[in-house]
Amino acid sequence: MKKKLYLILSILIIISLLSSAAICNLGQAQSSEEAKNQAVEEGNQKKEVEKDNKTGSNDSQSANQSNNNPIINGIIISDLNGLETGYSNEEWLVEHSVQFYLTGDVSDPDNDPLTHKWSADGGSFDNTSAPKVVWTAPEFPETYKIYLEINDERGGIASFSKELIVVDTSDVKSGSPPQINDIVINDSPLYCDKTYEVEVIASDPDNDIDFYSLIPSDGTLLNQRVNVMDWITPVDPGNYTITVKVVDKAGNENTLAKSFDVISQFEIVEHNLEVTDISISTSPIYINGKYMIQATINDPHNEVERCVFRARYGVLSDQSANTIFWTTPNTPGLYPITLYLYGTDPNLVLVEEIALFDVVENK
């Protein structure tokens, strides 16, 4: 009986041990599967993060590639009352040790926020990063530069500089006014409706003549070249005055008026002739070019025997009846072409007509 009891207990112990081992193995298998699943999930999350980072990097690069640089049009200088005293395309003369407003005339094609950075060779700023700053000019008169840099915070940068002259007006002398010695026309006599060169003979004790102004009482002035200008005399005979004003850089000025007699060169007779047009079909007219000039004439009674063209500037050639070729001058300007119509009398001008042509530089 005891032997049977021991046998039953032994079988129960073995069954219990086998059950525990099976349960342990099952737990280990489940743990291994869970670890495997967790590793796969972590790998997928890592790939998603890398993908997001790559997409963000590409978006950033694309944004940078499409960015446009900001634009600096210039710098505006004004006094502390807000009165604008100059723009960057003008010469700046400022008093030493005086404060001014400096404002950047800037824009951005992408409408990005802009940051400013101001600097200078001299003087001082109340703020170097504001759009509008107060700059105190240096104490010592000299030439200085103002610098402005604009950044749109996306890599776009623009820079600009402006040179200015700091002066001490207490040391600036008023100077002496210029002297006008004469107004000269070398041709004599002067005929009606013709072009003559007028020259102003002037000097200045301080050698700082700024500009010349010539005003005739009649006729037309054109093609000013410093102190020289062309004068197309009036169509009627008479005594005419040319007034000249010469101004120096300190604002001193002087004037002189001189009279000239203008007479008729030919006896002009009454007739039914009319020059309706003197034209060049090509436009624009460039310097150093060759163009055909054609005159349109209304001659109901066949009075015209010959046409004569005259040009003070450029070269005329190859005339045929009422057409001629004109090689234009080598400098831009407004130039006259004169046409004379003659009848059977070679000394009698039936009609005299002037046309003006605007000659420009070839782009």
**Average pLDDT value for the chain:** 82
Question: What was the pLDDT predicted at 131?
Answer: 94
Q: Which residues contact 113 (CB under 8 A, 6 or more apart)?
A: 152, 153
- What does the block give as tokens for 121? 């060779």
On whether residue 79 sits in a domain, the answer given is yes
Q: Tens digit of pLDDT for each residue in 63-121?
A: 446 899 999 988 988 888 766 666 666 777 788 888 989 999 999 999 999 999 999 99
Per-residue pLDDT for 280 more than 50? yes
Residues 229 and 309 occupy one common structural domain: no
27 three-class SS: helix
Question: What was the pLDDT predicted at 109?
Answer: 92
Question: What was the pLDDT predicted at 252?
Answer: 85
Mark which of 230, 263, 296 sits at the end of a domain: 263
Q: Tens digit of pLDDT for each residue in 307-353?
A: 999 998 999 999 888 999 999 999 999 999 999 988 887 777 888 89
- What's the CATH number where 194 sits? 2.60.40.1080
**Average pLDDT in the 37-53 region?**
57
The proportion of the chain whose per-residue pLDDT surpasses 70, expressed as a percent, equals 77
Residues 154 and 229 occupy one common structural domain: no
Q: What is the pTM of this model?
A: 0.34
What's the domain count of the chain? 3
Question: What was the pLDDT predicted at 53?
Answer: 53
Q: Which residues contact 260 (CB under 8 A, 6 or more apart)?
A: 185, 190, 239, 240, 241, 242
Residue span of the structural domain in which 221 resides: 179-263
Residues 163 and 199 occupy one common structural domain: no
- What's the CATH number where 146 sits? 2.60.40.10
Q: What is the DSSP letter of 321?
A: T
Q: Which residues contact 233 (CB under 8 A, 6 or more apart)?
A: 190, 191, 192, 193, 194, 195, 196, 219, 240, 262
In the block, tokens 């499409």 appear at 66
The proportion of the chain whose per-residue pLDDT surpasses 90, expressed as a percent, equals 46
On whether residue 8 sits in a domain, the answer given is no
Question: What was the pLDDT predicted at 344?
Answer: 81
Question: What was the pLDDT predicted at 9?
Answer: 59
On whether residue 211 sits in a domain, the answer given is yes
Mark which of 171, 202, 234 sits at the end of a domain: 171
Q: What are phi and psi of 313, to 5 degrees?
A: -125, 145
Residues 237 and 188 occupy one common structural domain: yes
Residues 281 and 250 occupy one common structural domain: no
Residues 227 and 294 occupy one common structural domain: no
On whether residue 46 sits in a domain, the answer given is no
On whether residue 66 sits in a domain, the answer given is no
On whether residue 49 sits in a domain, the answer given is no
Q: Tens digit of pLDDT for each residue in 197-240?
A: 999 999 988 888 888 888 899 999 888 788 999 999 999 999 99
> Residue 151 CB: number of other CB atoms within 10 A?
18
Residues 167 and 210 occupy one common structural domain: no
Cis ω before 300 (30° cut-off from 0): no
The model's confidence at residue 57, banded by pLDDT at 50, 70 and 90, is very low
Question: What was the pLDDT predicted at 173?
Answer: 47
Per-residue pLDDT for 178 more than 80? yes
Residues 83 and 142 occupy one common structural domain: yes
Residues 185 and 207 occupy one common structural domain: yes
On whether residue 311 sits in a domain, the answer given is yes
**Average pLDDT in the 38-61 region?**
54
Question: What was the pLDDT predicted at 134?
Answer: 94
Which range scores top for mean pLDDT: 39-43, 136-140, 165-169, 170-174?
136-140
Per-residue pLDDT for 2 more than 90? no
Question: What was the pLDDT predicted at 26?
Answer: 42
Residues 162 and 193 occupy one common structural domain: no
On whether residue 195 sits in a domain, the answer given is yes
Q: What is the DSSP letter of 138?
A: P
Residues 324 and 355 occupy one common structural domain: yes
Mark which of 233, 263, 293 sits at the end of a domain: 263
Residues 156 and 227 occupy one common structural domain: no
